Structure formats: structure tokens, C-alpha cells
Amino acid sequence: MGRPEETSAWTDSVVSTRKNSEEWQPLGRNSAVPGHLSVKLDTRHASVDHGRNSYSRSITPAVEKGHDPFRDSDEDEDHEHKKHHDMFDPNRPKMALKDRLHHFTWAWYTFPMSTGGLSLLIAAQPHKFPGLMEIGMTVYIINIILFVAICSTMLLRFFFNPGDMSKSITHEREGFFFPTFFLSIATLITSTQRYAIPDNDETLAWAIQVAFWGYVILTLLLAVGQYSFVFAAHNFGLQTMMPTWILPIFPIMLSGTIASVIADTQPEIAAIPIIVGGLTCQGLGLSVAVLMYAHMVGRLMSAGLPNREHRPGLFMNVGPPSFTALALIGMANGLPDSLDPDLDGIVINTGIIRTMALMSGIFLWALAAWWWGIAIVAVLQSPPVYFHLGWWAMVFPNTGWILATISLGNAMSSEPVKWMGTGMSIVLVITYFYVLFNHVKAVIKQDIMYTGRDEDFNDH
């Protein structure tokens, strides 16, 4: 076991629930893999430094290449503050609002991302009642307001804390939440199509096309650029793997979901390229996600479940197969009844394509259900104590799973499956308000937007 002055690299937060809490056990007696992963940490409690130089004080196995992980990047910070406080102490000093803005992270976009998903789920309900679409429209408008408010607050953070923007994007933990900004945009595009674009409006249909292709270009650059940076700048051990590693590929994957929503509202000359582009992006996203699944399973097998505070993030694994199933069925339904792609007179019966999409959707739905089961057992086994913005992973990925369930029910004309989707939707709405309640409470109590309590702090 590690020496008393050492804290393990396994520890995610104050109380570890990992099976292997202090040492990485060797793979075998003759294994060439080094066994000890314990690293020395500063045993002092987190400082309540609220200035610009308090970006991150934690040490994790994920370190910048070419940098000393045991050396604080802001050396003068220790000279400025002599008094240290426990960041988990309910009686810790309160922070001023301006100082709290320093800890307003990219993970806040998980809030409008989930709200936008909820508006889409309302629009997709197979069993509607009078006023349901009006409720969905209200949620859609609220989501726009949330998105604008969060963007404005992020700009204030960067204005009051020069240098935070580059630090946040390149940070080994917060940087992985940068793609949630684009995921929020994806939900805005799809929900705008559902609630704000009237049928047969050529001008607005053209605007949606521009938004789609612009989104594809930006998210492709994100997928290549962010992973290239991570590969070059950070060293991550397998035991540090978290579902957030999937996030950089998530936005480009949702291009297929957007295509499935807008394709059947576009003229055929525009719909076919959108479907082909959406299918390409969806295939890229799912393929990379499957590669990440291999790492995730390896991490779970070798290191056990994450710390209880981060277990809700496991629901993120539900997203890729769910949104892929949804996209495949939606894009197949967006195809015309007969298709002659090369104009040689040979017509393809799109009914066959729809059948293949349905079969693939069922296959992927089962994978999503398995990941959901793994996540729910992990969370119930050791529920989190403190709110983290990662709790929103219990909403957005599961929204995709429920939308896929409803799409399967519609494709099979199965009332039991449709009612199953309705029941799942009710549970998700309850989950949404539960997370929202804890989110608001955490902001008021300063459990988030506080030094050492947010994604700009390396606690895993």
C-alpha cells in the first residue's frame, strides 16, 4: 500500500469507491507493465483562491506532455494565500459572483443540450393530448433563452478572466466538455425544424440546409482537431478513462440525427445529399464510439467503476447506439419511395432500405439498453453525494434511447413499443426535473461554480 503521505492516482474525489484505491495491481507475476501508480499529492486542502491564477491545483495521471505534473503552473499562488479551506466544508467561505464566473465551465452546455432533447422528445410522442405541442414549444423557447444566457455568461467569464478560454479548451478535463456547445446547437437545429419551420416554406427550408452543412463542417473540424490535440498534448492511462472521451466525436455523429429530422421536409434534390452526408457522419461517430467502448470496458474490467460522484457519466455510453438507431430509421424514412441514384433507369425499392434500417435499429437499441443497465446499477449501488454537471448525462443520452424506442414502435406499428416509449418519456421528465432541482440547489449553495468543485478541477 502507499505511504501515508501519498494519495492514489485512483482517487476521483474525497471519498473513493474504487476497488483498487491505492495501487494498480500488476497484470501478472511476469507482467512487464509497471504496477505502482500512486503519485505524491499536496495533502493540503484546496485553496479558496478565487483569482485568475487558480485555474487548477489537482494532480491526476493525465498530464501535459513535456510538463512536470507535480509542479503547479501558477507558482506565485502559494505566496498569495496562506489560509486553506476544505472545499467540501459546508461552512467554507462564500465566493463573490464575479469570482464564481471563473468556474463557469463548458459543462454548463449540458443543461440546454438536455432541455433541447426534452423538447424533441415531446414533439415525437406517439400518444399526444391537447396542449402537448404547446408545452413543447414552451420548452423550445426556454431552451433558446438558456442557450443565449449561458453563452453570455461564458463571454463574461472570458472577459473577466483573460486566458481562460484557451485554458478551458485545452484543459484535460474541462476541454472534453467543449463539444457540448455544439451538441446544444444540434438540438436547436432539430427542434427549430420541429417547432418553427412551417411546411413547404422554401426559404426556411434552404436556411435549414445551410445550418446543416455548416454544422457538419464545424463538427468535423472539431472531431479531428480536438482528438489530434489530445493525442499530442496529454498522456491518459487506461485507468483514467471516462465516458467524456466520447464527447469530441458526438457532435459530428448527431449530423445523422439532424439529417433524419430534416430530410423528409426537403425537396428530393436536397434531401438525398443530406441523407448521404448524415449517414457518413453517423457512421464516423459510431465507429469512433465503438473504439472508445473498448477502452471503457477495459477500464471497468481493470480498475472497477468510477468514483460515485462520476458514475452518472456512464449514461453517456447510451447515446451513440441510440442516436444511430434513431438516425438510420429517420433517414430511411426520408428517402423517396423509389430511388434511382445514378439515373441509369434501375430503381431501388427503398422499402428494402427501411427494413434494413429497422433491423439495424433493433440491434443498436439492445446495445444502448445494455449500457443503460450498467449505468443504472452503478449509480444505484453508490449514488453520488454532490451535484456535478455530469448529472445531465442521465437525461440527454437517455433521450436518444427513448426517441429510438418510439421510432422503432412507429416503424413496426407496435402499440406496446409505443406505450413503452411513452412510459420511458414520463420517467425521463421526472429525471429532468430531479437533476434541475439539484442543479439550482447546487448553484445557490455554491456547491458548483466554486474553487475545486467544477470541471476545471482535476478530480479524476
- State yes or no: pLDDT of 389 exceeds 90: yes
- State yes or no: pLDDT of 439 exceeds 60: yes
pLDDT digits (tens, 9 = 90+) for 28-80: 433 343 433 333 334 333 444 444 444 443 333 444 444 444 444 444 444 44
The domain spans of the chain are 100-444
pLDDT digits (tens, 9 = 90+) for 303-343: 999 999 999 999 999 999 999 999 999 999 988 877 766 66
pLDDT digits (tens, 9 = 90+) for 250-306: 999 999 999 999 988 888 888 899 999 999 999 999 999 999 999 999 999 999 999
Nearest CA-CA partner of 189 in 270, 257, 121: 257
- State yes or no: pLDDT of 388 exceeds 50: yes
Residue with the larger pLDDT of the pair 86 and 145: 145
Average pLDDT, the chain: 83
Which DSSP helix (H) or strand (E) runs through 64? strand 63-64
Q: What is residue 341's predicted lDDT score, i.e. its pLDDT?
A: 66
pLDDT digits (tens, 9 = 90+) for 163-210: 999 999 999 999 999 999 999 999 999 999 999 988 777 888 899 999
Cell triple for residue 286?
Answer: 459510431
pLDDT digits (tens, 9 = 90+) for 228-238: 999 999 888 88
Q: What is residue 460's predicted lDDT score, i.e. its pLDDT?
A: 56
Q: What is residue 268's predicted lDDT score, i.e. its pLDDT?
A: 82
Other Cβ atoms less than 10 A from the Cβ of 47: the count is 21
Dihedral angle sign, alpha carbons of residues 38, 42, 46, 50: negative
As a whole number of angstroms, the distance between CA 452 and CA 287 comes to: 35
Q: What is residue 107's predicted lDDT score, i.e. its pLDDT?
A: 96
pTM (2 d.p.) = 0.81
Residue with the larger pLDDT of the pair 345 and 384: 384
- State yes or no: pLDDT of 25 exceeds 60: no
What does each C-alpha distance from 426 to 45, 229, 231, 314 come to in angstroms? 42, 40, 41, 21
pLDDT digits (tens, 9 = 90+) for 9-24: 333 443 333 343 333 3
Q: What is residue 273's predicted lDDT score, i.e. its pLDDT?
A: 93
Cβ proximity of 460 and 110 under 8 Å: no
The top-level CATH class assigned to 100-444 is: mainly alpha
Q: What is residue 85's predicted lDDT score, i.e. its pLDDT?
A: 56
